[in-house]
Structure formats: C-alpha cells, structure tokens
C-alpha cells in the first residue's frame, strides 16, 4: 500500500440539466480536480427518448418533476473531476426506464463509476471500487426517501434502497390532533444493506455509504431513522456516512470514531431547464407542479427562469466533505464551506471571508441544537471535525 496521502471529496445534490452545466462548476472545479477521488449525487436522470406509459413493461409509471435533458450534458461531471456518481434517489424513476438506462450509459462512457441504480436490484446494489496508489475506495448508495416506484427489483430498473416506515402516535386522545412521528427502517431492506456492506468490507480499505435521506427544508431536526440507518451501516463496517436530499445543511456526528454527514445540502441547482422539443408539455406541467409543491410545503416561490433563486437563504449554504487518507485509513475529516451564488455556482469560502464564518456558525448551531456530538475547528481554510466525547458520545 502506498504511503502517499490521498484526499477524497464528496458533494451533495446535483441537477445537471443544461448545456451550461460546466460553467456552474467554474468556481470549484480546480479544487475538485486536485483531489484523488471525487464523489457526488446525481439528482436527475437524463434522456431525450420519449417517456410514455406505453413505453413500459411494468405497472408503475414515471413519477416526479424532472424534465427531459440531454445525457451529453453529463460531460460537465467529467470535466469537473468526478470519479463516482451515486444515483439512489427519489427522482431516479422520474423519466422511467430510458432515464435510468441513458444516464448510467453516459456516465460509464465518460469513465465515471455509477453506484446505487441499475437495470435490476442486483445491479443497483453493486458497489463501486476506485483504486488510487494502492488504496481501494468502496462506495454503496441507498435511497431512504422513497417513493416505492423508484425501487429496483429483480425485474425492474431503479435504485437500491432502505425502505422507511412512518408511524404516527397521538399525543392525546384527540383523533386528528397532534401526533408524535416515528420513523424506522423496514427490517428486510436494512438487512440487505448490512449484507452489502459486510460483503464489500474485505474488498476495500475505505468504505463510504451514501444515503438519500433527511427531512426536506427542515433545519436542525434529525429523524429517528437518520441515525438508525447510519449507525447500522457503521456497525456493519462503513468508515464514512454521507447523506443528501434535504436541500438544507444538516448536522454532523461521530459514532464509533466514524463521521456521519447527515446532509450536505445542494451543490448544483441546475440552471434553467432546457425543454426543447422533447417532452415540452410534460416539462411545463412539471414546472407548474414544482411551483405548487414548493409553495404549499415550504412557502417558497419558484422562478423557472432562475431555479437557483427559489432557495431559502439556508439552502444556499453548502459544504464539501473532505477525507484525508493515510495508509488506507481515514486520518482526518473536514469540510470546505461554500455558498451558491445567483448563477447557481458553488463558491468555496475562506476563513477570512465573513460568509465562510457564517457557514461555520450555522453548522455549529444546527449540530448543537440537534444534540449531535461533532465540534468544529478552523485549520487554515478548512473546518476540521472532532467529537466531543463528553457530550452525546456513542
């Protein structure tokens, strides 16, 4: 094994929808390309093939609001330096079979490893392994957010998943009144995840598990299942847990000496959707539905000309997770604070920039408020993550 110090970077949700996608990485690409391994979440499938009910051989129809996009736009990920894209998410079935098939093919043609989705459940659960200077990095990816239509099975394309069950218990004898919400992982899908990790463990030196999970646009709160699935993955052998999906930063904790990023937030918001001549009516309906959902659920206004501007101020703040690897083991975990500008470009912030300190303070505040044990310290322009083992330690 090489004695060279290696770095691995991970980013959150990325919508790659337009020919201008490459420009959205302009401010961060030099840093991404300097790392040995770079991994990110592919939020939207890409296809220009027709997506209609008649196209399928399965009962479930496409769901969601992702617009058709040219798979060739994914070249922006290669240009920015990505090595692995994980696709287990709640939008993977939005464009049906063509979306999954064309996205995976294009990424692989670009030399980017794909994890978390496939043409059946065995492919979706297959890990990605990247070798750098004698060190093997292993990756698995699971969707915890649903919907069920996204799940792969032996005969259907889709994603790997851990199915989450939600139960409501009334706080008082008042049907329809306030309730306590319990979320737990369905045992069989959790066991399948554990088996995947145990099988991968002997094949790699650094093992990272990525989850699509978390309460959307909800500050601070960590759901019950967030910790359950993360702890189970670490107990099975994972070295690092990274999550996205909530579109807002979540706190960080350490469990058994391993770091859990409960939510990296947005990274690339996608720019103006390019509808073209393909699926134009579908795309317009989806934009209207997007506007209605954001307004009802989160009180957000949606501008299809500038989708990055529908972000809450908190949702513009994001981080790049960084792991330093020595002799095949993670020796240091940190993050790079970032802010998404009006052009949808993430910008890495320095300690001397008051915006960088704002991201630091926000992460510190939400981590403490959630009762998590991570504590932060600037080292140069990076924020190093350590655990306060005297408080909330596991």
- Average pLDDT, stretch 93-116? 97
Query: CA 270, CA 290: separation in Å to the nearest integer?
Result: 14
* Cβ neighbours of 266 (radius 10 Å): 28
Q: Which two tokens stand for residue 161?
A: 């998943």
Task: State the pLDDT at residue 187.
Answer: 98
Q: Is the pTM here over 0.75, yes or no? A: yes
| pLDDT for the residue numbered 59 | 44
Instruction: State mean pLDDT over 48-55.
Output: 66
Pair type for strands 374-379 and 382-387: antiparallel
Instruction: Answer with the residue of higher pLDDT: 172 or 274.
Output: 172
CATH of domain 6-387: 3.60.21.10
Written in H, E and C, the secondary structure of 60-94 is CCCCCCCCCECHHHHHHHHHHCCCEEECCCCCCCC
pLDDT higher than 50, residue 231: yes
**Residue 53 above 70 pLDDT?**
no
Whole-number mean pLDDT of the chain? 89
Beta strand pairing status for 266-268 and 158-159?
Answer: unpaired
* Structure confidence at residue 283 (pLDDT): 44
H-state helical runs in the chain? 21-24, 29-34, 75-80, 96-109, 121-124, 187-200, 224-236, 280-298, 313-316, 354-369
* Strand partners of residue 320: 336
Q: Is the pLDDT of residue 86 over 60?
A: yes
Q: Are 66 and 274 in contact (CB under 8 A)?
A: no
Decide which of 79 and 276 is more confident: 79
Comparing 132-136, 170-174, 234-238, 332-336, the range with the smallest average pLDDT is: 170-174
Least confident stretch, 69-73, 244-248, 305-309, 382-386: 305-309
Calpha distance 135→140 (Å, rounded):
17
In 3D space, the residue among 60, 64, 47 whose CA is nearest the CA of residue 156 turns out to be 60
> Domain coordinates of the chain in residue numbers?
6-387
Decide if 351 contacts 336 (C-beta within 8 A): no
Residue written as token pair 């079935």 = 93
Residue 3: pLDDT band (50, 70, 90) is confident
Q: Higher model confidence: residue 18 or residue 2?
A: 18
Confidence of residue 280 (pLDDT cuts 50, 70, 90): very low
**DSSP conformation class of 294:** H
| Mean pLDDT to the nearest integer, 16-22 | 91
Lowest model confidence (mean pLDDT) among 38-52, 75-89, 218-232: 38-52
Residue 314 scores a pLDDT above 50 = yes
CA-CA distance, 129 to 37, in Å (whole number)? 11
pLDDT of 72 strictly over 80: yes
Sheet with 128-132, edge to edge strand ranges: 128-132, 135-143, 206-213, 240-245, 258-261, 252-255
**pLDDT, mean of residues 151-169:** 97
pLDDT band, very low/low/confident/very high, at 1 (cuts 50, 70, 90): low
Task: State residue 273's pLDDT score.
Answer: 46
Q: Is the pLDDT of residue 200 over 70?
A: yes
57 has pLDDT over 50:
no
Tokens read off for 23:
């420009």
């Amino acid at each position: 094994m090489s004695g060279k110090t290696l770095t691995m970077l991970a980013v959150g949700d990325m919508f790659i929808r337009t020919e201008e996608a490459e420009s959205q990485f302009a401010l961060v690409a030099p840093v991404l390309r300097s790392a040995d391994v770079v991994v990110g979440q592919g939020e939207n499938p890409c296809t220009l093939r027709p997506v209609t009910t008649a196209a399928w051989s399965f009962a479930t129809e496409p769901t969601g609001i992702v617009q058709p996009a040219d798979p060739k736009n994914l070249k922006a990920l290669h240009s920015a330096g990505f090595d692995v894209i994980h696709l287990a998410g709640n939008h993977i079935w939005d464009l049906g079979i063509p979306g999954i098939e064309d996205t995976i093919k294009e990424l692989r043609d670009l030399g980017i490893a794909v994890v978390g989705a496939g043409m059946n459940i065995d492919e979706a659960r297959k890990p990605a392994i990247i070798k750098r200077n004698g060190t093997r990095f292993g990756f698995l990816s699971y969707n915890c957010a649903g919907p069920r239509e996204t799940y792969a099975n032996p005969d259907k394309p889709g994603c790997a998943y851990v199915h989450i069950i939600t139960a409501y218990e009334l706080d008082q004898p008042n049907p329809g009144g306030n309730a306590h919400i319990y979320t737990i992982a369905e045992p069989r899908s959790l066991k399948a995840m554990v088996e995947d990790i145990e099988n991968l463990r002997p094949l790699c030196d650094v093992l990272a598990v990525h989850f699509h999970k978390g309460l959307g646009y909800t500050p601070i709160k960590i759901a019950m299942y967030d910790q359950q699935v993360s702890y189970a993955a670490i107990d099975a052998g994972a070295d690092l847990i990274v999550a996205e999906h909530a579109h807002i930063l979540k706190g960080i904790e350490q469990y058994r000496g391993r770091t859990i990023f409960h939510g990296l937030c947005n990274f690339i918001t996608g720019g103006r959707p390019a509808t073209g001549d393909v699926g134009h009516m579908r795309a317009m309906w989806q934009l209207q539905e997007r506007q209605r959902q954001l307004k009802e659920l989160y009180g957000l206004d949606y501008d299809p000309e500038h989708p990055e501007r529908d972000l809450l101020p908190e949702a513009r703040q994001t981080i790049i997770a960084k792991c330093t690897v020595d002799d095949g083991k993670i020796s240091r975990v940190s993050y790079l604070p970032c802010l998404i500008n009006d052009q949808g470009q993430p910008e890495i912030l320095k300690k001397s920039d008051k915006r960088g300190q704002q991201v630091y303070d926000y992460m510190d505040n939400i981590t403490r408020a959630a009762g998590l044990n991570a504590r932060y310290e600037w080292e140069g322009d990076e924020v190093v993550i350590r655990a306060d083992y005297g408080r909330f330690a596991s």
